[in-house]
Amino acid sequence: MNFKPLNVCITGGAGFIGANFVRHWLAKTREGRVIVFDALTYAGNVQNLAGLERDPRYVFVRGDICDEAAVRSLLEQHQIDTVVHFAAESHVDRSILGPDDFIRTNVVGTHSLLKAAKTSWLDRKTVPAHRFHHVSTDEVYGSLGPDDAPFHEASPYAPNSPYSASKAGSDHLVRAYHETYGLDTSVTNCSNNYGPYQFPEKLIPLTLINILLGKPLPVYGDGLQVRDWLHVADHCEAISLALARGKSGDLYNIGGNSETTNIHIVRTLCALVDEYLAGRADLKAAFPASSAARGTHAAQLIEHVRDRPGHDRRYAIDYRKARRELGYEPTRDLAAGLRATLEWYLSNRAWWDALLGRDYAAWVEKNYTRSQPLR
Ligand code: NAD
Ligand code: TYD
């Protein structure tokens, strides 16, 4: 990028990755402001940003990215020159049960943001230079066979779920606004993130919490689906690098160098929690239903349940372009990253207890078939 971002709008900044990025950006920069724009859906949580209200550089605005007029006035009021766009519906299982919200937020919402950015930045020239960075996923490329080469930036798009199709649609709109109107854009497509503040509907936090509470661990189908796991801190660094060095109109794949089957992840977490709690009377007392407290093994909680329809078999990322052009390299080893994540969830029980007490538990109960074991 040929300028230093000053006032940065982070859409979806109250979600998992967005909140990590807000913290990362405020710690990394000294000037300018961070304006979080978030609708606070079930996945948005102001607790993810707790403590930041004391920072004079941080502003929180509740709003919907589909509201183009609100976005335009935000861009102009705060002299925003950079948008980092995380806001989305992000959970594949929810997209299967109800795709409409995914089309609305991910496609229509991204388009509304692009229109507002075009009006403010290109037509009304509110700032001398700008960048629209779009955060996307490797899921737009579809599914790989066991011996296929990893996805690279020229791999054809072949999304299989309503979620990935809606993200693919948003990626295409970002490209079109660059090619057609000359909007300065960049896109990162990354693999599965994990780490602090991840909503406990996703595999890793769901498994950790269920182990601690002694609940079943649902593994879809045979569990041999492969994902590439990326610690959220590495992802945040990659986005910073894309802002600093990414070429306008370009896209970069961001991987974690950690291809693993789901069943391996679940078994690793079982062993990790059993071992971690083994010598800790305080934790065993805090989690009396955990296998460690009951003298059993967490792996006994694993239940193979009915597979997700259209379930992608394997994702893998070739991130050589990001390495070459951005200087990106993931730094977190998966085992160390999972251990640090367990420690975060153990230290932040109040954060996830509050979520389980909310509508989440009822929603899981109502919508999931996962508790039915495979025959
Ligand atoms: P998340 O579901 O935890 O958070 C999404 C955030 O967007 C929430 O704060 C929510 O309130 C907000 N939001 C939703 N609809 C909105 C709207 N209409 N207007 C304003 N805000 C709205 O998601 P996440 O896991 O942090 O993912 C962030 C981005 O990264 C998404 O675009 C996702 O597609 C992408 N991504 C995620 C992963 C992953 O593993 N989590 C991997 C690759 C890419
Ligand atoms: P998830 O965390 O939902 O991310 P994504 O679908 O975006 O990859 O799921 C990661 C993998 O784990 C995916 O292959 C589905 C699987 N999975 C389970 O086996 N059990 C679960 O309870 C969940 C939530 C996911």
The whole-number pLDDT of residue 358 equals: 61
230-252 confidence digits (pLDDT tens) = 999 999 999 999 999 999 999 99
Atom of ligand 2 lying closest to residue 202 CA: 2
130-176 confidence digits (pLDDT tens) = 999 999 999 999 999 999 999 999 999 999 999 999 999 999 999 99
Q: Which ligand lies nearest to the CA atom of residue 16 in the structure?
A: 1
Q: Whose CA is nearest to atom 20 of ligand 2?
A: 219
List domains and CATH numbers for the chain.
7-198+229-257+314-332 (3.40.50.720)
Q: How many CB atoms lie within 10 A of CB 7?
A: 18
285-333 confidence digits (pLDDT tens) = 999 999 999 999 999 999 999 999 999 999 999 999 999 999 999 999 9
For residue 312 the two structure tokens come to: 């992608």
37 close to 49: Cβ distance less than 8 angstroms: no
For residue 206, which of 256, 167, 262 has the smallest C-alpha distance? 262
Q: Which ligand lies nearest to the CA atom of residue 92 in the structure?
A: 2
Apex 196 CA angle, 192 and 200, nearest 5:
70
For residue 220, which of 361, 43, 99, 372 has the smallest C-alpha distance? 372
Probe residue for ligand 1, chosen from 11, 22, 41 as the CB with the greatest number of ligand atoms within 8 Å:
41
Q: Which amino acid is at 268?
A: T
Give the catalytic positions in this structure.
Answer: 138-139, 163
Probe residue for ligand 2, chosen from 89, 161, 202, 374 as the CB with the greatest number of ligand atoms within 8 Å:
202
Q: Helix (H, G, I), strand (E, B), or coil: what is residue 222?
A: coil
Please enumerate in sequence order all residues whose Cβ is within 8 A of that of 91, keeping only pairs 6 or more positions apart, or say none: 43, 163, 199, 201, 202
